[in-house]
Chains A and B, each alone.
Chain A
Amino acid sequence: MAEKCAELGTRLYVPVRQLVIWPIAVELAETGYKKAGRPEDFNPTEQVRYLSSDQFGFSSNYMGWMWRERAAANIMVGAYWAESLQLAETGARIGTIQVGGTANIHQIPFFVAACDYALIGEEIFCAGAYLSKDAEMIGSLAGQDMGKLLGIVLILLGVIFVTAGSDILTKILSW
Chain B
Amino acid sequence: MAWYRRVEIPIILTAVFCLFQLVPYFVVVPAWESAAKDFVDWDAVMETFALFIGFTTLLMLHGRIASQRRRGWYWSAWILITMIGYTLIGIPIPALGLGKGTKLFEAIRLYVLTPLSGAMYASLGFWIASAAYRAFRARTLEAGVLLLSGTLVMLANAPIGTAIWPRLHADKKMDLRRSEHVDDESERHWSSPRSPSPRG
- Evaluate whether A54 and B117 lie within 8 angstroms (CB atoms) in the complex, with A19-B50, A86-B123, A89-B130 already known: yes
Q: Is B27 close to A, CB under 8 A? A: yes
What CA separation (Å) do A77 and B47 show in the bound complex?
A: 23
Residue contact A20 to B46, C-beta cutoff 8 Å: yes
Set of chain A residues within 8 Å of B64, measured between Cβ atoms:
45
Binary CB contact string for chain A from 84 to 128 against chain B (1 if under 8 A, 0 otherwise): 011011001000000000000010001001100000000000000
Q: Does B200 contact A (CB under 8 A)?
A: yes
Contact, CB under 8 Å: B50 / A174: no
Give the size of the chain A interface in residues (CB under 8 angstroms): 31
User: Which of B54-62, B98-106, B165-173 is the contact stretch?
Assistant: B54-62
Q: Does A37 touch B at the CB level, under 8 Å?
A: no
In chain B, positions 1-60 with a C-beta closer than 8 Å to chain A are 26-29, 43, 46-47, 50-51, 53-54, 57-58, 60
CB-contact partner of B124 in A23, A86, A92, A175, under 8 A: A86
By a CB distance below 8 angstroms, the chain B residues around A113 are 131-132, 134-136
- The contact string, 1 if C-beta is below 8 Å from chain A, for chain B 138-158, is 000000000000000000000
Q: Are B75 and A85 in contact, with the CB atoms below 8 A?
A: no
From the candidates B53, B60, B71, name the one contacting A19 in the complex (CB within 8 A).
B53
Query: Which A residues are in CB contact (< 8 Å) with B72?
Result: 68
Enumerate chain B residues within 8 angstroms of A88, measured Cβ to Cβ: 131
Given A54-B117, A173-B27; A22-B53 close (CB under 8 Å) = yes
Q: Which residues of B contact A53 (CB under 8 A)?
A: 54
Is A74 interfacial (CB-CB < 8 Å)? no
Does A46 lie at the interface of the complex (its beta carbon under 8 Å from any beta carbon of B)? yes
A85-B124, A174-B28 are known contacts. Are A55 and B117 too (CB-CB below 8 A)?
yes
Tell me which residues across on chain A come within 8 A of B58, comparing CB atoms: 50
A22 and B117 in contact (CB under 8 A), knowing A85-B127, A113-B132?
Answer: no
0/1 per residue, A22-53, Cβ < 8 Å to B? 11000000000000000000000110011001
Bound together, the chains give a CA A106 to CA B57 distance in angstroms of 33
Complex Cα spacing A175 to B23, Å: 13
List the A side residues contacting B127 at CB < 8 Å. Answer: 85-86, 89
Residues of A within 8 A of B134 (CB): 92, 113-114
Does B116 belong to the interface (CB within 8 Å)?
Answer: yes
Most chain A CB inside 10 Å of its own CB: which residue of B54, B64, B132:
B54
Contacts of B128 in A (CB 8 A): 85, 110
* B74 on the A face (CB < 8 A): no
Cβ A50 vs Cβ B46 within 8 A = no
- Do B199 and A81 touch across chains, with their CB atoms under 8 A apart? yes
Q: Does A139 contact B (CB under 8 A)?
A: no
A45 lies within 8 A of B200 (CB): no
The answer to the question of A161 belonging to the interface, with a C-beta cut-off of 8 Å to chain B, is: no
Contact between chains at B27 and A175 (CB < 8 Å): yes
Known: A20-B50, A50-B58, A173-B26. A106 touches B117 (CB 8 A): no
Interchain residue pairs with CB less than 8 A apart (20): A20-B46, A20-B47, A20-B50, A22-B53, A45-B60, A45-B64, A50-B54, A55-B117, A56-B117, A81-B199, A82-B121, A82-B199, A82-B200, A85-B128, A86-B120, A106-B200, A110-B131, A113-B136, A114-B131, A173-B27
Q: Given contacts A19-B51, A89-B127, A174-B27, could you give 7 more A-B pairs where the C-beta distance is less than 8 Å?
A: A22-B53, A45-B61, A50-B54, A92-B131, A106-B200, A114-B134, A173-B27
For the complex of A and B, list the 4 residue pairs with the smallest distance between their C-beta atoms, beginning with the closest. Answer: A19-B50, A56-B120, A113-B135, A174-B28
